[in-house]
Amino acid sequence: MTTQDELEDQAYEAWDAERYSDAFSLFLAAEAHGARIVRLNIGYCFDEGLGTPPSKYQALAWYRRAHVADRRSGSAASNIALVMRKRGAHGSAFRWFQKSAVRRDGDTYVDLAKCYLTGLGVTRSAPLGLTLLRRAIRSKHITPAAREEAQSLLRAQGVLLSLNYRRP
């Protein structure tokens, strides 16, 4: 009998080999055996149509399950926010970005900053947007692309980048 851990390992091996159909099936099997952590991956497969036909409805359902199962997963909340933003549901996207920001994710700070700078989903506030961009740059948990985007947005707002921030 295959264990939950074995199924999970096999799923990630298939994912790394870009055998998405196999990975998707194995993620589902691992989840059926109690692996709650794979729910985010299942949602992503539905979101991007990897190994299964794309379905934003199914993606949201799995992201929500991941959010609850993983103690309010910041990644799941961020993914829900991105789907909502694509749908034009900016208020909902903003609320989900807020839930993700609780985990101090620098990428999410950039997304929240863009909401404040544009007024999408929230009352426009350049000062709050700039504060979030500075927080993003200082974050230990930010991708290089998001850090670069935060710096670019600060430059576009006329803010000098004389900020001292920690590089990862």
Predicted local confidence at residue 14, as pLDDT: 96
Contact present, 36 and 10 (Cβ < 8 Å):
no
Query: Position of tokens 């055996």?
Result: 33
Predicted local confidence at residue 1, as pLDDT: 56
Task: Work out the pLDDT band at 47, boundaries 50, 70, 90.
Answer: very high
> What's the rounded mean pLDDT across residues 17-37?
93
Claim to verify: residue 54 and residue 109 sit in the same structural domain: no
Tokens found for residue 3: 């264990």
Claim to verify: residue 81 and residue 30 sit in the same structural domain: no
Whole-angstrom CA distances from 164 to 59, 101, 137, 160 are: 39, 22, 9, 11
> What's the rounded mean pLDDT across residues 130-145?
94
Q: How many CA atoms lie within 13 A of 160 on its CB side?
A: 2
Task: Work out the pLDDT band at 161, boundaries 50, 70, 90.
Answer: low
The residue among 25, 52, 71 that closes a domain is: 71
Q: Supply the CATH number for residue 114's domain.
A: 1.25.40
Q: State yes or no: pLDDT of 142 exceeds 60.
A: yes
Domain count, the chain: 2
Full domain range(s) for residue 88? 74-168
Question: How far is Cα 97 from Cα 85, in angstroms, rounded to an integer?
Answer: 10
Question: How far is Cα 131 from Cα 47, in angstroms, rounded to an integer?
Answer: 31
> What's the rounded mean pLDDT across residues 88-96?
96
Claim to verify: residue 102 and residue 67 sit in the same structural domain: no
Q: Check: pTM over 0.95? Answer yes or no.
A: no
